Structure 1
């Protein structure tokens, strides 16, 4: 078809990538809950953007409740979201101070780390390691 743009056209690739990223993000929790609220639930859960039930690891939620101060119970929304931007190859970022403070309290990152311009940057391998240590309470958002 002569009117169809070539597949190597950057605009075509970006549209296709956005569609695929949208599919990946359907598994994200639609309503994030505070740690306090999840601690009150017998089976801590939420719903994904696609409408599926998302179950949190109840033992991990209790563990976070024991290890984190009460102030963070009401401010920390779970899951914590790490943003992966397709224009930034090896890094990702958090955008919430409460998530940064929680990771500092848990000893996962230094208390000297600070957000810059509303973002706290991580190397992707560190984010993957944190996901393995804290399953269900960290999700990756593709952008």
Structure 2
């Protein structure tokens, strides 16, 4: 028996999520640059602040435009929990890559593919569940 693989185009919802992910990444990077270059902040606090700014932005645009949900404190707490779970996953996969002796770009490429898929699924099924 031969198995058939069916390919589907990504949904509009997933593509919207990805577009906001790109915007979010640019916002994070821009915030770090502004804080470091204009205020002389060190990179660790600059990245911490950039994470917060980008995370709030990401919650707001994804709630309203990707998942069509109203903004709420409870919704943001779920979103933040998902973000922190994704960070943990990133650290675990990176650590596994080191233990296995993989080149860091292999691990990074794996994360670039897996992270949006997993995060979108968790957000859809948990944080923005209908």
Could you state the TM-score of these two structures normalised by the residue count of structure 1? Answer: 0.28
The structure having more radius of gyration, on CA atoms, is 1
More helix by share: 2
More strand by share: 1
